[in-house]
Amino acid sequence: MLKRYLLAPGPTPVPAEALAAMSMPIIHHRSPDFIPVLEDAKNGLKWLYQTANDVLILCSTGTGGMVGAVNNFFKKGDKVLVINGGKFGERWTEIGKAYGLNVEEITVEWGYAVDVKKIEEALKADSNIKGVLVQAVETSTGVYHDIEAIGKVVKNHEDILLVVDAISAIVAHDIKTDEWGVDVMVGGSQKGLMLPPGLAFVCVSEKAWKRAEESDIERFYFNLKTERKKLKDNQTNFTSAVTLIIGLNESLKLMKKEGLENVFNRHARLAHATREAVKAVGLDLYSKESPSNSVTAVEAPSGVDGQKIYKTLREKYGVTAAGGQAQAKGKIFRIAHLGYADTFDVIIALAAVEMTLKELGHPVKLGSGVAVAEELLMQ
Amino acid sequence: MLKRYLLAPGPTPVPAEALAAMSMPIIHHRSPDFIPVLEDAKNGLKWLYQTANDVLILCSTGTGGMVGAVNNFFKKGDKVLVINGGKFGERWTEIGKAYGLNVEEITVEWGYAVDVKKIEEALKADSNIKGVLVQAVETSTGVYHDIEAIGKVVKNHEDILLVVDAISAIVAHDIKTDEWGVDVMVGGSQKGLMLPPGLAFVCVSEKAWKRAEESDIERFYFNLKTERKKLKDNQTNFTSAVTLIIGLNESLKLMKKEGLENVFNRHARLAHATREAVKAVGLDLYSKESPSNSVTAVEAPSGVDGQKIYKTLREKYGVTAAGGQAQAKGKIFRIAHLGYADTFDVIIALAAVEMTLKELGHPVKLGSGVAVAEELLMQ
């Protein structure tokens, strides 16, 4: 028997409360049974998003939410500024181009956070820009972009929407959607929300809804205006993913019990301990700036293949973390502390990393990272 | 305590085997654990679809599969012939128009099946038609359109694709995808496949893939060419809906054990008994022609509101069937015998209908429908 641990940045483990609820007999999405379920989900998401606006619930992966953010609030040919600092920044560009937007990029070296001044300059230099598209957490590099600061810059421009992919950030980072001026914020079920994949969430500001009136991009499945109308009656436009939404309410219940501030603090505490511990083991963080509280990206020591670390963690120790993607493949490995994660998930990750490095012939003092983590996690 | 029974045409009940499997700890969609899971699903769907082509697996409701069928295989301005005999026929038209297709309709009176000769004539009269879009089972009317006969007509036209929404038909009807010349066949998880909502399936012929090369419609999430490429490596393009796909394999296992022929016969047997029994109770079928094996649509007797029948069934007897949609609202109710359904689901439905009608003051001989059903179900 090899006991298994899922410590990847999505999908993440699902708590027993949600698994049990999702195993209950199916209810019908157009029956009165479902109305209070969707109402709870709607209210819970508003609380989590810290917003007065509705958070739409789509049956898709998070990428579907990103598509909805692009093809509901822009016109063909609209110029948008994409902050591209990793694989998911690239995805904004791909989606924008697929729907005929005129995409300008601020490319950010992988492992670094965007320099907000550059955004400010770009917006000043070109009054045609209609939107800024960015990740809160760029999963591929483990970096958090400063959404609050970006929000302050975008707020000065009446015509510009701030569109944030917060799929890997929500729950792990305190993002004040309304207060910071985020116009469209996309989330997904399989990350901080501790659920299986299958739901995307999109929160939309009044400013963005006004822009939706002008949009001329073809859409049908991700038609957010129709979803908004349906949500007012506690319905979704197409068949609701009933089991996942029932699970969502369980996740939200757990988070409400813990308190939003505590949820954020827990993620900050786990992330901090993980970062300090890997440094104590003699490893370097891949995120050179603004490391996220969702996932810690670590450089493989020279001479050791990052994918081999990923594989050994999995095959020998049963720990499913993540390797690197695209240009970072082989160079890094990533450990998530996201969603249903606590003290001993970090300890497991660090012990497994120490044992794996030793296994792969890299000099490491066993227990050195764990000791640091224990110290920090006791606080 | 009111024991609950779900007898609606989707979502349908999920067998305990699938619920239990979906409650297992989450696995990562890019890890080696998931490769054999997706391979099993892929092979199982081929078996169910009776096809040599790949069946793509999307994370969306069935409607997402319909969108993919439209925006991957046609060009803007392409003329398509939609068979519109109900709410889901209308949906083909809506999707076609949303993506700039030139939609011509053959409208079919609700409750009737399409006259295949009309399709033949329409295709002969207009050589610009590039596709025929039809439902196998039109859920809103309970009618099955004769896909085999339509396939024979479309086969004579090299340039025309036959696109079938089989969301409510698969498992209940024997549809020989390849043999009958179906080019694109869409399915969904929450019907005959006995799963929660969240997966769409799209089977694509070589003829359709060739047409995909010419398509100029914007797409990103429902990009089937990319899904095809990924599926060859037992992956999906975006995050896989891991729990649902694990459940899918359990459903497929149950069906394989029963045998495909037996699965179809079971549905035919349940549907036949339901139809004869409701007639014995003195009710008329709403499906005047070609009633489906998935769902039986029944006219409310004159003076009785169909929605009241639906409500009484639910609230007093715990039976969630379905009412009528759009123009049929208030006039009909619908009983499904789809997916995880057997003898006593039909008996429950009929007993509940008899009791409900009596409750609502309609003259009915209690047990009269059940007696006929028992007789037929014993065969």
User: Rg for chain B (alpha carbons), in Å?
Assistant: 21
Q: What are phi and psi of B45, to 5 degrees?
A: -65, -35
Give A79-136 pLDDT, tens digit per residue: 999 999 999 999 999 999 999 999 999 999 999 999 999 999 999 999 999 999 999 9
User: How confident is the model over B269-324, as pLDDT tens digits?
Assistant: 999 999 999 999 999 999 999 999 999 999 999 999 999 999 999 999 999 999 99
The model's pTM is 0.95
Domains in chain B with CATH codes: 5-10+259-378 (3.90.1150.10), 16-257 (3.40.640.10)
% of chain A surpassing 70 pLDDT = 100
H or E segment to which residue B296 belongs: strand B295-299
CA distance A75 to B281: 57
Judge contact between B195 and B251, C-beta under 8 A: yes
Place of tokens 């309970």: B142
- Residues B173 and B175: their CA atoms lie apart, in Å, by 6
Quick one: CA dihedral A68, A71, A73, A74, positive or negative? Answer: positive
Predicted confidence (pLDDT) at residue B264 exceeds the cutoff of 90 = yes
Cα gap B277→B281, rounded to integer Å: 6
| Nearest-angstrom CA–CA distance, B306 and B326 | 13
Whether residues B218 and A218 touch (CB distance < 8 A) is answered with yes
SS3 letters across A77-138: CCEEEEEECCHHHHHHHHHHHHCCCEEEEEECCCCCCCCHHHHHHHHHHCCCEEEEEEECEE
The answer, for A63 touching chain B at a CB cutoff of 8 Å, is yes
Residue (of A215, A207, A203, A253) closest to A37 by Cα position:
A253
In angstroms, rounded to a whole number, what is the distance separating the alpha carbons of residues A293 and A279?
Answer: 16
pLDDT higher than 90, residue A379: no
Structure tokens at A241: 């993913």
Contact between B196 and B242 under an 8 Å Cβ cutoff? The reply is no
Asked whether residue B379 carries a pLDDT value surpassing 90, the answer given is no
Assess contact for A291 and A284: CB atoms under 8 A: no
A1-60 tens-digit pLDDT: 899 999 999 999 999 999 999 999 999 999 999 999 999 999 999 999 999 999 999 999
How many CB contacts within 8 angstroms connect chain A with chain B? 167
* Neighbour tally for B117: CB within 10 Å: 10
Per DSSP, helices labelled H in B50-160 are 62-73, 87-98, 116-125, 147-155
Q: What's the gap in Å between the CA of B217 and the closest CA on chain A?
A: 9
Instruction: Calculate the alpha carbon distances from B188 to A213, A343, B194 in Å.
Output: 32, 40, 10
Task: Give the max Cα distance, chain B.
Answer: 62
pLDDT over 90 (residue A261): yes
Contacts of A119 (CB under 8 A, 6+ apart): A81, A83, A106, A132, A150, A153, A154
Sort out which chain A residues have CB atoms less than 8 A from B322's CB and list them.
28, 30
Task: Return d(Cα B21, Cα A22) in angstroms, integer.
Answer: 12
Q: How do B79-84 and B129-135 pair as beta strands? A: parallel
Tens-place pLDDT, residues B20-78: 999 999 999 999 999 999 999 999 999 999 999 999 999 999 999 999 999 999 999 99
User: Residues A94-117, buried b or exposed e (16+ Cβ, 10 A)?
Assistant: bbbebbbbebebbebebbbbbebe
Nearest to B31 among A14, A60, A314 (CB): A314
Which of 143-182 (B) contact A at CB < 8 A?
none
Instruction: Find chain B residues with C-beta within 8 A of A242's C-beta.
Output: 11, 196-197
Average pLDDT over residues A176-184: 98
Pairing, β A143-144 against β A137-138: antiparallel
